[in-house]
A and B are shown apart, each in its own frame.
Chain A
Amino acid sequence: EVQLLESGGGLVQPGGSLRLSCATSGFTLSTSGMTWVRQAPGKGLEWVSSISPSGDSIYYADSVKGRFTISRDNSKNTLYLQMNSLRVEDTAAYYCARGGVIRAIYDYWGQGTLVTVSS
């Protein structure tokens, strides 16, 4: 059974940092593009970042470029999102999903982890 489990969310002050993790199981991570999608409370979905299976191709939304870093450790079956210089508008549930940036066949999703940026 394919499972994605996010962790690392929480309350952080503006300007602070967090690292999200997405532990995967039930499939071979090294053959899958992976993506982070976020959803602000009561709002719609926003694509954040995608990474190719090997990690050599990385893509970011303009809203997070230069502040967020996506990475993966295929040996640990884990996807990461390092978030720096956090802003109030980054407050959202962050989902990891299996799939890349082009075809975006996001067939499996985690349950989401909530990031709250507030003073």
Chain B
Amino acid sequence: QSALTQPASVSGSPGQSITISCTGTSSDVGGYNYVSWYQQHPGKAPKLMIHDVSNRPSGVSDRFSGSKSGNTASLTISGLQTEDEADYYCSSYTSSRTRVFGGGTKLTVL
């Protein structure tokens, strides 16, 4: 199972909005509404930010939103804050009854 494709890095200034893409195939992202997104700060465990494509867990800021179109899922962060600087990973269920993660995207808040 190949990893989902994410941009290696994105950047933005405080207050701006950014979008991170996550591209798979019809056998994973495109075939199921089971895409989740995780935030990971250096040396820390990942934190769930979005599940089931667009659902935000309790306690996660509403500045984070998720969507999907075809084989590509997206995470949008609005009103960027310095604490948003982290690595972000998408993940999807697959037709092989496994999970696959994206390669990760490093977000830099300039």
Contact = CB atoms under 8 A, between A and B. Distances in A.
A47 to B, nearest CB: 4
Contact of B46 (A50, A59, A105, A109): A109
Interface stretch (A7-15, A16-24, A76-84, A95-103): A95-103
A101 B99 contact: yes
Question: Interface majority SS on B: helix, strand, loop or mixed?
Answer: strand
B45 A47 contact: no
A44 B99 contact: no
Given A44-B89, A102-B34, A107 B101 contact: no
B51 A47 contact: no
| Category for how many chain B residues contact A | 20 to 34
B38 interface: yes
B69 interface: no
B98 A61 contact: yes
A27 interface: no
Contacts of B104: 44-45
Interface residues of A, number: 24
A111 B99 contact: no
B103 interface: yes
Cβ-closest 10 pairs across A and B: A109-B45, A44-B104, A47-B99, A45-B101, A105-B51, A44-B103, A45-B89, A104-B36, A107-B48, A102-B93
Interface of B: 1, 3, 34, 36, 38, 40, 45-48, 51-52, 57, 87, 89, 91, 93, 97-104
Given A61-B1, A61-B98, A104-B51, 10 more contacts: A50-B99, A59-B97, A95-B45, A95-B46, A97-B46, A101-B98, A104-B99, A105-B52, A107-B57, A109-B47
